[in-house]
């Protein structure tokens, strides 16, 4: 059994080497691992950093095409039976790989979503309050609308960690190139009746000063993607 880890990266010079090192350190018993980093037209020193990192397969886009486009390139290059998506920052802990892929290994599911909200909810008061109330509210709106339209009861569609049996990905083409890639993929999977489960994952949000990229504009596109793929014919 092989796990393909796809890391889309755009201007992640400060963290890309650290996250690759963390991924390389993770061992899942009985599972080999390949790491595919897709440099999506970075304008900083990401490409230079990747040149000195060993043990990875690097794909480079000549220009920035979007996270979805980077993930698509990674899927096309993947050779593992299971594929997992890993952000290039340090918000998510690769130690959760065991939890995320286990339902597929046990043949209990063909797709798995990692939920940031099964273990805890962010707090918006006190010294340790989260500065991202608007992000949380947006996430809850996406969760509510998706569950209503697709008849589900999941708690988080926007967490980074999602794992798939590779045949599911190959049989479910996605047209989106941006952050809404995940939404289109999941909506199609739910409409097809593919086995999908949710597991808890850990999350340490970074700030915009540290490189956080997603904004409310992306949220609007995600919502439109969720609505339209409830009714458009599947490919």
Q: How far is CA 99 from CA 16, 35, 106, 125, 232, in A?
A: 23, 18, 11, 30, 33
Helix (H) / strand (E) element for 208: namely none
From the list 73, 75, 76, the residue with the least C-alpha distance to 60 is: 73
Q: How confident is the prediction along the chain (235 residues), in pLDDT tens digits per residue?
A: 999 999 999 999 999 999 999 999 999 999 999 999 999 999 999 999 999 999 999 999 999 999 999 999 999 999 999 999 999 988 899 999 999 999 999 999 999 999 988 877 655 554 554 545 566 777 889 999 999 999 999 999 998 899 999 999 999 999 999 999 999 999 999 999 999 999 999 888 655 444 455 676 888 999 999 999 999 999 6
Residue 124's pLDDT is 53
Q: In the CATH scheme, what is the homologous superfamily, with its name and number, of domain 2-231?
A: Spore Coat Polysaccharide Biosynthesis Protein SpsA; Chain A (3.90.550.10)
The pTM of the full predicted model, rounded to 2 decimals, is: 0.90
Contact between 78 and 36 (Cβ < 8 Å): yes
Look at residue 45 and give its three-state secondary structure.
coil
**Residues 6 or more apart in contact with residue 118 via CB below 8 angstroms:** 155, 156, 198, 199, 200
**Residues 6 or more apart in contact with residue 127 via CB below 8 angstroms:** none
Angle at 12 between CA 47 and CA 64, to 5 degrees: 70
Residue 128's pLDDT is 53
């Amino acid at each position: 059994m092989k796990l393909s880890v796809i890391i889309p990266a755009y201007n992640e010079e400060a963290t890309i080497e650290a996250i690759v090192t963390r991924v390389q350190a993770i061992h899942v018993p009985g599972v080999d691992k390949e790491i595919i980093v897709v440099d999506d037209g970075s304008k900083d020193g990401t490409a230079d950093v990747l040149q000195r990192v060993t043990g990875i397969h690097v794909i480079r886009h000549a220009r920035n095409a979007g996270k979805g486009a980077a993930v698509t390139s990674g899927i096309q290059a993947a050779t593992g039976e299971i594929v997992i998506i890993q952000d290039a920052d340090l918000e998510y802990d690769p130690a959760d790989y065991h939890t995320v892929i286990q339902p597929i290994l046990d043949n209990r599911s063909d797709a798995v979503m990692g939920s940031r909200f099964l273990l805890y909810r962010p707090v918006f008061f006190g010294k340790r309050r989260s500065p991202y109330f608007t992000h949380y509210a947006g996430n809850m709106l996406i969760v509510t609308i998706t569950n209503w339209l697709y008849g589900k009861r999941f708690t988080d569609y926007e967490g980074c960690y999602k794992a798939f049996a590779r045949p599911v990905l190959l049989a479910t083409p996605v047209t989106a190139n941006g952050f809404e890639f995940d939404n289109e993929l999941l909506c199609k999977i739910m409409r097809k009746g593919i086995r999908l489960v949710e597991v808890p994952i850990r999350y340490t949000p970074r700030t915009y000063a540290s490189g956080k990229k997603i904004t409310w504009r992306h949220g609007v596109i995600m919502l439109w993607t969720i609505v339209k793929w409830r009714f458009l014919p599947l490919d």
